[in-house]
Amino acid sequence: MRIGELARRAKVSTRALRYYEEQGILSSERTPSGQRHYPESAVDRVRLIQQLYAAGLGSRMIASFLPCVDAKHAEPEMVERLRAERARITASVAELQEAGRRLDLLIELAAYPGRRRCPASLDEQSRTATG
């Protein structure tokens, strides 16, 4: 398929697809006239790329990981980097969840100002005593 169809199906812009190619994380065949052609698998590949971006990985990191995805193999050093990124994601999930709890608390207080049962302030950490 050509770039426009891939863009629609993967729900990204054509600009993004060209950018991915520029960054070495998405390849394409070229017709004699120079137009890009992609296989069906490119749709899933682009979705994977988007997911990794959403997980906070940069282009370089993704570029270094994708070959392992295809080879289903990696050197120990690479495995370590994978684990490190995995840990980063875990930490970042925890941060997000805590921010979520804080927002929940705020919503509860803000929406139902009369019913406040929880004595904890939003400015204080309810589970740690060390200011």
Contact positions vs DNA (CB under 7 A): 2-5, 7, 12-16, 18-19, 23, 28, 31-36, 50, 53, 57-60
Identify residues 62-121 at the interface with a copy of itself (CB under 8 A): 65, 68-69, 72-74, 76, 78-79, 82-83, 85-86, 89-90, 92-93, 95-100, 102-104, 106-107, 109-111, 113, 116
The least CB distance from residue 113 to a copy of itself, in Å, is 5
28: DSSP letter: -
d(CA 42, CA 28): 9
User: How far lies 92's CA from each of 52, 60, 65, 85, in Å?
Assistant: 13, 20, 20, 10
User: Minimal distance in Å, beta carbon 56 to DNA?
Assistant: 8
When asked if residue 130 is in the footprint of a copy of itself (CB under 8 A), the reply is: no
CA-wise closest residue to 71 among 81, 80, 59, 79: 79
Residue 5 or 98: which CB sits closer to a copy of itself?
Answer: 98
The binder of 36, among a copy of itself, DNA, none, by C-beta within 5 to 8 A per type, is DNA
By beta-carbon proximity to DNA, the closer residue of 9 and 108 is 9
The partner in contact with residue 45, picked from a copy of itself, DNA, none with C-beta cut-offs of 5 to 8 angstroms by kind, is a copy of itself
Q: Report how far residue 57's alpha carbon sits from residue 77's, in angstroms, rounded to the nearest whole number.
A: 18
Tell me 35's DSSP state.
Answer: -
Distances (CA, A) of 56 to 3, 12, 35, 103, 115: 25, 17, 31, 22, 39
